[in-house]
Structure 1
Amino acid sequence: MKALTANRLTDGEVVFWNQGRWVERFADAELFAEPGPGETAEGHAKAQPTVVVEPYLIDLIEAGELWAPLSYRERLRALGPTNRLDHGKQVEGGDVVEALQHASGAARSTGRVNLIKRK
């Protein structure tokens, strides 16, 4: 399972792809079970250089009954600043935030590795 992420160009906010538009919450992200649709979405996202910066697919793992990014880096990006629990996206709480906070795995997402290799 994968999700598509990037940073919004106007303010640097971490965003996730959902059926042709960018959303700020990982809970609202479109999840891709097959590589084809995810790669197609990534292609559409890369055609938006005035909207987002460096879109890439991230690997997901099961976290209870939900999904969470495999890499620690991507979980931090999805939660927002985590130096204090009273700000950032984790303030909203809920099942998805719980899954993000308790997921494990430290591997890099293959999409991020591919992005680094291209540079």
Structure 2
Amino acid sequence: MKALTANRLSDGEVVFWKNGVWVERLTDAEIFADDAGAGEAEVAARAQPTVVIDPYLIDLVDSAGFWAPVSYRERIRALGPTNHELHGKQAEGGGAVEALRQAHGAARSSGRVNLIRRK
């Protein structure tokens, strides 16, 4: 499973793709089961250069009944600032936040690896 993420240009907020618009919560994001649908969404997202910067796909894993990024970096981005539990998206609490905190996975997302892979 995959989700599409980027940073919003107006304020730098981490956002996720949902049916042609950007939402702030991973729990609201559109989840892609196949590469074709994910690729189409990525192309559409890249057509919004004045809204977001650098949209890319992230790999997801099931965690306590919610989807969580495989990559530790992406879990931090989905939680917001991690300097204090009362800051960012993690301050809302709930099952989705706990699932993100307890998820485990690889060190990198395949989307980012493809950006830095040497040929």
Q: For 1:106, what is the secondary structure of its paired residue?
A: coil
Q: Percent identity?
A: 68
Pairs within 5 Å for 1:87-98: 87-98=87-98
Once the two structures are superposed, residues 66-111 of structure 1 have per-residue CA deviations (whole angstroms, 9 ceiling, x without a partner) of: 2100000000000000110011100101111110010011331111
Q: Which amino acid aligns with 1:51?
A: V
Q: Separation in 2 of the partners of 1:95 and 1:35?
A: 28
- Structural RMSD (CA): 1.2
Q: Provide the residue aligned with 2:7 in structure 1.
A: 7
Q: Provide the residue aligned with 1:39 in structure 2.
A: 39
Q: Separation in 2 of the partners of 1:13 and 1:115?
A: 21
Specify every segment of 5 or more residues in structure 1 that has no aligned partner in the other structure, as ranges: none
Pairs within 5 Å for 1:1-119: 1-117=1-117
Q: TM-score, normalised by structure 2?
A: 0.95
Q: TM-score, normalised by structure 1?
A: 0.95
Q: For 2:12, what is the secondary structure of its paired residue?
A: coil
Specify every segment of 5 or more residues in structure 2 that has no aligned partner in the other structure, as ranges: none
Q: Which runs of 4+ in 1 moved over 2 A?
A: 115-118
Q: For 2:16, what is the secondary structure of its paired residue?
A: strand
Q: Which amino acid aligns with 1:47?
A: A
Number of equivalenced pairs = 118
